[in-house]
Amino acid sequence: MSLRGRLTLWQIILAVGVLLGFAFVSYRLLTKGLGYEVDQTLRERATHVSDALRMTPNLGLEEVLAPTDEFASPGIYVQVLAPDGQVAAHSSNLGQQRLQIPTSVLERVLSGRAFYATDAVEGQPVRLYYQPVVRSGAVVGAVQVGQSLTGQQATLRRLQTIYLIGILGALVVGGTASWVLSGVGLRPVAQVARTAYRVAQSGDLKERLTFPERQDEIGRLSTSFNRMLERLEATFEAQRRFVADTAHELRTPLATILGNVDLQLRYGQAGSNGDTVLMTIRREAERTSRLVAGLLLLAQADAGQKLELRPVELDEVLLETYEEARGVSGSIHVALGACDAATVLGDRDRLKQMLLNVIDNAIKHTQPGGRVTLSLTCEGGSAAVEVIDTGEGIPADDLPRIFERFYRVKNSLLEKKHGAGLGLAIVRWIVEAHGGRIIVDSAVGKGTTFTIWLPVQPPVPDKRPA
């Protein structure tokens, strides 16, 4: 059964329960109320007759015909009985009929007890009330008052019919309304289901839900579904681009290696040419090794690998990196600016790799004769590492994407130098794994500044005695 059908069924069941409960309670209350009114009326009439007989002690029971008629009314019958059970007087609306009284009931009344009973008179239910007639402290007779329950039962049967028709009508109207309203309310959910099915069948992640802006649960569901599709599309696109870029990056060095190997096999090693071929193979193999190592590191990052963090003297790591960068910078001048002492909680090897990647990126984007400056300062519980170059700069359109894997700025020096495009992606992961952040400020033709903020580890107080 569909969700719409289940909702409608549950609402119908709930409505039936509520209506039946209301009908049962109201019917019971009305039945008791009508019965109480009949009993009160019978008791009042019997009391009036008994009081009239008690206040006129000189009259016999057979002389109270007039008072009996006075207290009778249509539908209410009054009968006065002698101790032997003979009818001494009765109301005229009884005609030739008499209210029967069993001997056991008469004895019970003559014992001084008043009570109610229900009996049938000519097939019709009659409510009866018996009350003794007392004179001078002695029971001298009994008053029997009755009222037909036919009218009351007819009223209750009509009420039952009204309840039945009303409940059935309410179920038909409520069920139809529930079915329609459930369909309207679940229409966006059905649209989500259809869209998900189409995406699953076609694999087209560009499809989106179209719906009016709404701030309820359905609106949030639709918005979340569209965002999920966007993330899935971005993930699959990144995966596709990752595979394509990896294949491209690996194809070039492998082709070079294979070409030089074929050359060696065909012509053999010949002096300096042979050395050149071997150097080319070595260089391309090292490049491939670096690429594979970068891919492995990023794969470990994607798998949620955590770094083992220990207190690290960041200024010492920066000085080591500075010395290594000077040895490979060639005609580009690498300078050291401020270098404050700073201790951070981190992985020393990864921090050094982070700095080498940023510096290497700056050197590759700087023309010969340019300048790259390193500095380390501490501000408000954070250490700020700056790498400033005077290179070509990064266009504003490319800035948001420079940390993506395999992304390279078009027509840049790095692209001409066949960079893999993994360095800055690794830098971002290392920075975030240390709880830091990285900011890039660049202007085309003027240079670029990378600023890395890392939380500083508070110094441990010296507890040795002075």
pLDDT for 313: 93
Nearest to 337 by CA among 297, 379, 294, 386: 386
Regarding whether 363 and 287 lie in a shared domain, the answer is: no
Cα maximum dimension of the chain: 162
Verify that 133 and 61 share a domain, yes or no.
yes
Domain of 58, CATH number, reads: 3.30.450.20
Tokens (6 digits) for 264: 């060696």
Q: Which domain holds residue 276?
A: 217-302
Residue 187 lies in a domain: no
User: Tens of pLDDT along the chain (466 residues)?
Assistant: 677 788 888 888 888 888 889 889 998 999 898 889 888 988 888 888 888 777 665 555 555 544 444 444 567 888 888 888 888 887 777 777 777 888 888 888 888 888 988 887 777 888 889 988 887 778 888 888 888 888 888 888 898 899 899 888 888 888 888 888 877 777 777 777 777 777 777 777 777 766 666 667 777 777 787 888 888 877 777 777 666 666 666 666 677 777 777 766 676 655 556 667 667 777 667 767 766 776 676 676 666 677 888 999 999 999 999 999 988 888 899 999 999 999 999 999 889 989 999 999 899 888 889 999 999 999 888 999 999 999 888 888 888 888 887 777 765 554 555 456 778 888 998 999 899 999 999 988 899 999 999 999 875 554 445 4
Residue 464's pLDDT is 46
Looking at the structure, tell me whether residues 282 and 321 fall in a common domain: no
Same-domain status, 226 and 327: no
At residue 59, the 3 state secondary structure works out as coil
231 and 338 part of one domain: no
165 belongs to a structural domain: no
pLDDT at 317: 93
In a domain, residue 192? The reply is no
SS3 content of the chain, % helix, strand, coil (to 5): 55, 20, 25
Burial 167-185 (b: 16+ CB within 10 A, else e): beeeeeebbeebbeebeee
Same domain, 338 and 291: no
Eight-class DSSP state of 462: -
CATH number for the domain harbouring residue 359: 3.30.565.10
Q: Report the C-alpha gap between 455 and 344 in whole angstroms.
A: 6
Position 164 in a domain: no
Residue that terminates a domain, selected from 134, 155, 176: 155
Task: Say yes or no: 291 and 375 in one domain.
Answer: no
Pair 323, 229 in one domain: no
Determine, yes or no, domain membership for 172.
no
How would you list the strands of the sheet with 437-443, edge to edge?
333-339, 371-379, 382-389, 447-455, 437-443
Sign of CA dihedral 243, 244, 248, 251: positive
Task: State the DSSP code for 383.
Answer: E
The answer to whether position 170 is within a domain reads: no
In-domain check, residue 200: no
CA 40 to chain centre: 59
Q: Are residues 424 and 383 in the same domain?
A: yes
Amino acid at 155: T
Tokens of 346: 């981190």
Contacts of 1 (CB under 8 A, 6+ apart): 9
Question: Where are any strands of DSSP class E within 54-106?
Answer: 76-81, 87-90
Nearest to 50 by CA among 114, 117, 123: 114
Closest by alpha carbon to 39, among 130, 170, 127, 106? 127
Question: For residue 62, what pLDDT is reported?
Answer: 57
| CA distances for 7 relative to 14, 180, 194, 437, angstroms | 11, 11, 20, 50
Stretch (H or E) spanning 441: strand 437-443
Name the token pair of 273: 């040419």
Dist. CA 371–CA 350, nearest whole Å: 25
Ranges of beta strands (E only) in 229-332 are 310-313
Q: What pLDDT is recorded for position 249?
A: 63
Please report, for the domain that includes residue 268, its CATH number: 1.10.287.130
Residue 262 and residue 371 in one domain: no
107, 135, 155 - which closes a domain: 155
Q: 143 and 69: one domain?
A: yes
Structural domain includes residue 144: yes
Residues 6+ apart with CB under 8 A from 332: 363, 366, 368, 369, 370, 371, 372
Local structure of 452: helix, strand or coil = strand
Domain count, the chain: 3
State whether 296 and 358 are in the same domain: no
267 in helix, strand or coil? helix
> What secondary structure does DSSP assign to 354-382, as a single string?
HHHHHHHHHHHTS-TT-EEEEEEEEETTE
Query: Which of 107, 122, 155 corresponds to the end of one domain?
Result: 155
